Structure 1
């Protein structure tokens, strides 16, 4: 499969990319600087994900899109997502998997709102969740076949399996999930498509 990728140099992005290349997929990745080494199966484009032309040339020829853009106290994610959606719709590409955050899953404490709004999360700073919510709402209102993978606390670490998933909610008692298992699940969702048009909570 030919995949357009954004966020390839991040923690989850790097792990996901390894799996995609090992699986025989062709990946075209847009990066700001030359942080990615040339590998068989990957085409690296230099550019800015907030620039429509750069996004469009990345998506050109793709069959699916994977986005692991972070927030890092910037609005890059919410600026990029409309461009990604527009480029996909123009080319008739429907499948997109993105990495979100557990803060945008549904609250168990306060029905009708998200976790970061309902007191489920201990985090006091909500900027990251607000950015991820903007991206999620854009996808929700699109006609795309989207999945937002929402890990809880995300320490570094390899995949170890035995994680739990739940549509639109964080699994009860979930405390963490490694970067490796987050990438593993996000990669498996590319082929299984078990959570189309939904968020999925991820935790041990």
Structure 2
């Protein structure tokens, strides 16, 4: 599989790039600072650029079968639009290049709530407000894009190691789960990207 990864230097994206090339996939990592990637491989192509450069973003997705975005805001203590703006840029590039499948890493707040609306709209802690709003707006971009998208929705992601032990549910957060390691989120996200089973859905994931 040929895939392009945005957010490749983050906690989820870095692991995903490493695992993808190890599994035989051909990966283009689009990053601002290649030195932060720390991964070298014959099947890894690193492209330096910003998401504001539409031409460079289009070049990064050109020829890919799947695009993965693991972009998130590093500081969400104030109003941010990092994920929304990134999603818009990636969607525009994919449409220009005729690439259809996009897998993104979102947040558990994007999952449906039993009372209606999104989980993040019900009793969300104040410190998560801005990050949720950014992810919610990015979800709207995906839903209106016409692309074949999937959003992986983890709750809290503490530092850890890959366990391979996690549970997932379509349009729901598996019962009893409150956290999951980013390495396991990367593992599942890559599996979603490499398969053709899920289409235009949100998937909750928690550690087992």
Query: Higher mean Cα deviation, 15-24 or 53-62?
Result: 53-62
Residue 137 of structure 2: aligned partner = 134
Instruction: Return the offset for 1:141.
Output: 1.4
User: Are 1:117 and 2:117 an aligned pair?
Assistant: no
User: Are 1:48 and 2:54 an aligned pair?
Assistant: no
Instruction: Return the offset for 1:123.
Output: 5.2
Return the alpha-carbon distance in structure 2 between the equivalents of residues 125 and 164 of structure 1: 23
165, 170, 175: which is aligned to 1:167?
170
With the length of structure 2 as denominator, give the TM-score of the two structures: 0.90
173, 182, 186: which is aligned to 2:185?
182
Residue 68 of structure 1: aligned partner = 70
With the length of structure 1 as denominator, give the TM-score of the two structures: 0.92
Q: Deviations over 1:125-179 (max 9, x none)?
A: 3111111111111111122111100011101222223311111221122111111
User: Structure 2: which 5+ residue stretches go unaligned?
Assistant: none
Indicate if the aligned counterparts of 1:50 and 1:76 stay in contact, CA closer than 8 A. no
User: Structure 1: which 5+ residue stretches go unaligned?
Assistant: none
Return the alpha-carbon distance in structure 2 between the equivalents of residues 160 and 123 of structure 1: 31
CA RMSD of aligned residues (A): 1.5
Q: Deviations over 1:33-61 (max 9, x none)?
A: 12224322111111101321221111122
Indicate if the aligned counterparts of 1:49 and 1:76 stay in contact, CA closer than 8 A. no
Structure 2 CA distance for partners of 1:123 and 1:16, relative to 1, 3 Å: farther
User: Are 1:84 and 2:117 an aligned pair?
Assistant: no
Indicate if the aligned counterparts of 1:6 and 1:49 stay in contact, CA closer than 8 A. no
Return the alpha-carbon distance in structure 1 between the equivalents of residues 61 and 127 of structure 2: 36
Indicate if the aligned counterparts of 2:58 and 2:97 stay in contact, CA closer than 8 A. no
Give secondary structure in 1 for the equivalent of 2:128. coil
Instruction: Return the offset for 1:29.
Output: 1.2
